[in-house]
Structure 1
Amino acid sequence: MSQEQHFSSLLSQRGARTAACRDFLYDKMVQVFSNMYHPENNPKGIVNLGTAVNSLMEEEVCQRLNRGDAFRVMAHHLHYANFSGIDELKEAVADFLNRHFKPLEPITPAKISTMCGATGCLDGLAHVLCDSEDVVLTPTPVYSRIQTDFLDVANVKVEPLELLDEEDFEDRTFSLQPEAVERHVKELRAQGRRVRAFVLVNPQNPLGEVYSPALLTQLLNVCARNDIHFIVDEIYGLSVHDENTEFRSVLSLNLPDPKRTHVIWAMSKDFGLAGLRVGVILSQCPGVHEFFHNACLFRTIPWIVQHAGATLLKDTVWCDEFYLPTYRRRLAHNYHMACDRLEAMGTRVRRGSAGLFIWFSVKSFLCPVTMEEEGVLLQEILDGGLYIVQGKVLYCTSPGWMRLVFTVTEKELDEGLDRLRAVLAARKLRLAMKEP
């Protein structure tokens, strides 16, 4: 009996379906949190390089939030407010993103709704843009909650567009081609399925790819031709660690179908504030914001938290002159150090330009090269005291790829890489002993 069938005698159909949903990243995170590594308090605990948490500027962010102006509780914070976002936060977000995303048309508070995190934003868009059983298309490998954010509550199906571990004409693997998107949309429609949206993470998770304005324009045109929504999650937009790469928001481009283009941003990754749950939807479709005016009652961010987020974003000197340049230096340092060490272990790193993670292949340590063997190796790594994420969980169809998060303290990153090196060295020795 499936879990859904087990729940069905007590719950509604939709309740049983949601209760039965299981997300590997969330379940594993909860498991790891019960035995987290700490250099003094729990040195034998699990080093977490699997959860996409950014703690590179943790101390500095805490100092800024604890100055007294961010979490200073006023009487009006105890009362109801605009559930889709208070004016203070919307104005702060608009000003901040106008400076850093450089939109072609200025972002105004009227184009903004706020939700509890990017997950809340995606779930909200699933409800307002799609009906139950509708389809959205997304390139894979991808952050696995894209699937569950659309499916768990809204029951919107996510159809993968599989990017392959094969080199394209630019010698890049996992290449995204606009022609493949359009072809897949037409194939799904020929099957009688209702395709409502194309969902892109840019910069991409787990590839670390920053998609070019030319490619984004082509993708926007594909969506416009086919009357489907273009949803782009730009949550890593300010986490670029390659000094030769510029992130361009889709808002900086000519939009062929502005009312079907929706951008998500949050403070969870670029500012390491996952616990504050400040998510933002930028849309030029009035109906979307009318929906959130009502629906945000169920997903609202506490007023005091909105005030804290606004206080931080409004501090332009701290954000622009201190935080972002310092953060990017630390991001680049950890990234290059981790890549060099991974390559020294014998893994193949697919070098990226942004984000909190490294996408690397351990195919040379698999025998046979199968998804099952990938899972065996992952368990060996976990038994060795390190949590990272296997490619299969991120809907990668090529065995041997894994994602490692490098935005932790240097001591923790060093410890995690030492543990990975020990596991891979032991496996390499065992494989060598099996050779004739």
Structure 2
Amino acid sequence: MVFKLNNQLLSKIATGNGHGEDSPYFDGWKAYDEDPYHPTKNPKGVIQMGLAENQLCFDLIQEWLKNNPKASICTPEGAEEFRDIAIFQDYHGLPEFRNAVAKFMAKGRGNRVTFDPDRIVMSGGATGAHEMVAFCLADPGEAFLVPTPYYPGFDRDLRWRTGVQLIPVECESSNQFKVTRKALEDAYDTAQLDNIRVKGLLITNPSNPLGTILDRETLKSIVSFVNEKNIHLVCDEIYAATVFSQPDFVSISEIIEEEVECNLDLIHIVYSLSKDMGFPGFRVGIIYSYNDAVVSCARKMSSFGLVSSQTQHLIASMLSDDEFVEKFIMQNKKRLATRYSSFTNGLAQVGIKCLKTSNAGLFVWMDLRRLLKEQTVEGEIALWRVIINNVKLNVSPGSSFRCTEPGWFRVCFANMDDQTMEVALSRIKTFILKSKEAKMSVKKLCWQGSLKLSFSSRIYDEIISPHSPIPHSPLVRART
């Protein structure tokens, strides 16, 4: 006899939808998983452009690994250290690991600041780091302000298990989505009216999904804001070393060392090696807090999601190689700049614009507002379904990032080789040209007075309408 599980026997987390998997952001992943592109085995499959992964410098990593076999305890050269690494390690982490990460963080910020290894707390990726910070700073029902558009995973990372709320700080394309003091004040006042206690402000710098950096004056204004409100500032800086053109990245750690009035206990940095080094599978997340109590609490919490000692050992060896790190950072910036230029130039050939202030990250913020059937979220999702089903590209709609202006899409460009990028561009160009041809055809028919058709209904309902709904999968993905 088979018994069905009674959901009343499970927790609210187990039966709820707090993870946020049921969204276009994750649905795009499922569509790719069911029909992944391969240049020979499946050339008509979905190309993955929803994954913010850095694969442009793996050859440098592979070369280093071949030249440094002792760094791994799973090689004949490194086997002598197997026992010392394999036995129990406490949650402070290997000293050499914390020292190497602190040094790498400084190099990624131009050595304009230094970081204390004793303030570094490790976590299972930035996902775990963000959740630990939320647990340390806020109680269930309290809130963080978050400028929009923001990474969809924040709803999972900060809200799902902590009970913390996120309150959007609405930013607009009219000023390149800049975070203004007025927008911060408006969001804070709205929370006060709703009787919600604001405990902090979360910023991503460089931004995901915009690929922009916060300038020095904006950062000073933000520090002034949190200091006046006596709330915490959590700075996600996981894309710090992906800035590939001017202006340079400015870390919050630089701002607080200047003549800016600030309570250092309010400042916390989240970092990882997932983006700058391209190591998301290693799950190396970092919390760097200027607050002693947060460091102490987070370190105790880290025992639930430690970085393996084997990974710590390898990372410590690699990041302690100054010559390699310098070469990697320089080449990473150079290759990102080249790929960004190639991809945006290809889009520009068919009149597609991207946010012009982007100079960092692994993606572009693509403007397809003129292609929307209607300027609504529903219109954006309709276009997104066409792109998934017909164009066969997994791109992420702006509404998934809480963008208030329909028609923006995040498109990742650093997780593929040059050939795949050219295939993706070719598909986009074909799609845009067909759209233009349909529009011209409709205009001609209307001018001739033979038919009263609108461009929007023609293009979506007949010429490039989606053939099938997005497939759903029981798999829960935790990707960025």
Do the structures match in fold with TM over 0.5?
Answer: yes
Secondary structure of 2:190's counterpart equals helix
Secondary structure of 1:106 counterpart: coil
Matches within 5 A, 1:168-207: 172-207=175-210
Cα separation, 2, equivalents of 1:104 and 1:426: 50
Tell me if structure 2 keeps the 8 A contact 1:102–1:252: no
The amino acid across from 1:92 in the alignment is A
What's the TM-score, normalizing by structure 1? 0.92
Match of 1:224 among 222, 227, 234: 227
Q: Secondary structure at the match of 1:281?
A: strand
Report 1:263-412 matches (<5 A): 263-320=269-326, 322-351=327-356, 352-383=358-389, 384-407=391-414, 408-412=416-420
Rate the CA distance shift 1:330–1:103 in 2: closer, same or farther, 3 A.
Answer: closer
Q: Is the 8 A contact 1:208 1:355 kept in 2?
A: yes
The code of the aligned residue for 2:394 comes to Y
Q: TM-score, normalized by length of structure 2?
A: 0.84
Moved more, 389-398 or 62-71: 62-71
Aligned partner of 2:466 in structure 1 is none
Written as runs of structure 1 = structure 2, the 5 A alignment for 1:24-103 is 24=23, 25-66=25-66, 67-73=68-74, 74-101=82-109
Where 1:51 maps in the other structure, the secondary structure is coil
RMSD value, Cα:
2.0
Distance 2:330 2:114 in 1: 24
Counterparts of 1:305 and 1:350, CA distance in 2: 37
Residue in 2 aligned with 1:140? 148
Deviation at 1:103?
7.1
Write the distance in 2 (CA, Å) between the matches of 1:312 and 1:7.
50
**Structure number with larger C-alpha Rg:** 2
- How far residue 326 of structure 1 moved from its aligned partner, in angstroms, is 1.3
Give the stretch that moved more between structures: 95-104 or 116-125: 95-104
CA contact (8 A) 1:47 1:416 kept: yes
Amino acid at match of 1:245: P
How far is the alpha carbon of 1:68 from its aligned partner? Answer: 1.2
How far the C-alpha of 1:204 sits from its partner, in A, is: 0.7
SS at match of 1:264: strand
Could you tell me how far apart the structure 1 residues matched to 2:19 and 2:329 are? 41
State the SS of the aligned residue for 1:9: helix
**Counterpart secondary structure, 1:69:** helix
Aligned to 2:248, which of 246, 249, 252?
246
The one-letter amino acid paired with 2:392 is G
Change (3 A) 1:162 1:331: same
User: Once the two structures are superposed, what CA deviation does each residue of 1:379-423 show, in whole Å capped at 9, x if it has no partner?
Assistant: 111122211111111111111111111113111111111112222
For residues 84 and 183 of structure 1, do their structure 2 counterparts lie closer, same or farther at Cα, with a shift above 3 Å needed? farther
Distance 1:50 1:21, change over 3 A: closer
Q: What is the one-letter code of the residue matched to 1:240?
A: V
Q: Please state how far the C-alpha of 1:18 moved relative to its aligned partner.
A: 5.8
Q: 1:104 to 1:9 in 2, by over 3 A?
A: same
List alignment gaps of at least 5 residues for structure 1.
1-5, 167-171
1:67-113: CA deviation from partner (whole Å, max 9, x where unpaired): 31332241122222122422121110112223332677631111110
- Tell me if structure 1 keeps the 8 A contact 2:146–2:169: yes
Pick one of 407, 420, 427 that aligns with 1:419.
Answer: 427
| Distance change in 2, residues 1:158/1:55 (3 Å) | same
Q: Which runs of 5+ in 2 are unaligned?
A: 75-81, 447-480
Change (3 A) 1:65 1:155: farther
